[in-house]
A and B are shown apart, each in its own frame.
Chain A
Amino acid sequence: DTAVSQTPKYLVTQMGNDKSIKCEQNLGHDTMYWYKQDSKKFLKIMFSYNNKELIINETVPNRFSPKSPDKAHLNLHINSLELGDSAVYFCASSRSGDEQFFGPGTRLTVL
């Protein structure tokens, strides 16, 4: 019974490619997030959706586009991948912004 799941767990791709990461939560939460954690382990928020509405959009290149088809899903599409996009991407969910539950992470490596 995974609470927050992400696919894929690992993603290795070439520069310039387009890739997507999927996230699903079965906790009944209304808010979902995407975070990026770089090699120095700093956790930075990228986007947040509340009831399918985008409420947080940090300074992120527009090559990154989130999509929330419903409250239980939040996907992240990345166009024209760059070396600097290599990181671990975490999805998380919460009930109205309370404590967050994180997915296992997707380790993206851009070659």
Chain B
Amino acid sequence: QKEVEQNSGPLSVPEGAIASLNCTYSDRGSQSFFWYRQYSGKSPELIMFIYSNGDKEDGRFTAQLNKASQYVSLLIRDSQPSDSATYLCAVKRSGAGKSTFGDGTTLTVKP
């Protein structure tokens, strides 16, 4: 079992729809959870982080964390073609240790 698993995708949604990206993790000691977006040919960039159970909203993005279920998700409302990218989930324990990345889910938003 991989430490961090994401829907393999690709995920395709129409413009204006809600895109839902899911991530599960195996280490119950995980404390910090991150979502990165990576456009083709570019480097990953952080779009959301969440540390506590529940929802965290930032504009059109909502991160959801359920530590009991070891599950973190990213919802993108009113999806735009510019949201088309690979989304990487990353999980880490506290401190300066490593973040473990999932293999990513590629999202395509069709006009």
In the complex formed, the residue of A with least CB distance to B104 is: A41
**B86 at the binding interface (Cβ < 8 Å):** yes
The answer to whether the Cβ of B98 comes within 8 Å of any Cβ in the partner chain is yes
Given contacts A97-B97, A98-B32, A103-B43, 11 further A-B contacts (CB under 8 A): A33-B98, A41-B38, A41-B104, A42-B103, A97-B32, A97-B92, A98-B49, A100-B34, A100-B46, A100-B90, A102-B43
A90 & B34 in contact (Cβ 8 Å cutoff): no
- Interface residues in A79-111 by Cβ distance below 8 A to B read 90, 96-105
Chain A: interface residue total (CB-CB under 8 A): 23
Contact count A vs B, C-beta below 8 Å = 56
Inter-chain CA distance A33–B100, complex, in Å, is: 12
Q: Could you tell me the distance between the alpha carbons of A108 and B41 in the complex, rounded to whole angstroms?
A: 13
Whether, in the assembled complex, A75 has its beta carbon less than 8 Å from a beta carbon of chain B, the answer is: no
Q: Cβ of B104 and Cβ of A97 under 8 Å apart?
A: no
Residues of chain A touching chain B, judged by Cβ–Cβ distance below 8 Å, are 30-31, 33, 41-45, 48, 50, 55-56, 90, 96-105
Chain B: interface residue count, which band? 20 to 34
26 contacts between A and B (CB under 8 A): A30-B96, A42-B103, A43-B44, A45-B98, A45-B99, A48-B98, A50-B96, A55-B97, A56-B98, A90-B44, A97-B32, A97-B95, A97-B96, A97-B98, A97-B99, A98-B32, A98-B49, A99-B46, A100-B46, A100-B90, A100-B99, A101-B46, A102-B44, A104-B42, A104-B43, A105-B42
B101, CB-defined interface residue at 8 Å: yes
Q: Mark B15-49, 1 if CB is under 8 A from A, else 0.
A: 00000000000000000101000100011111001
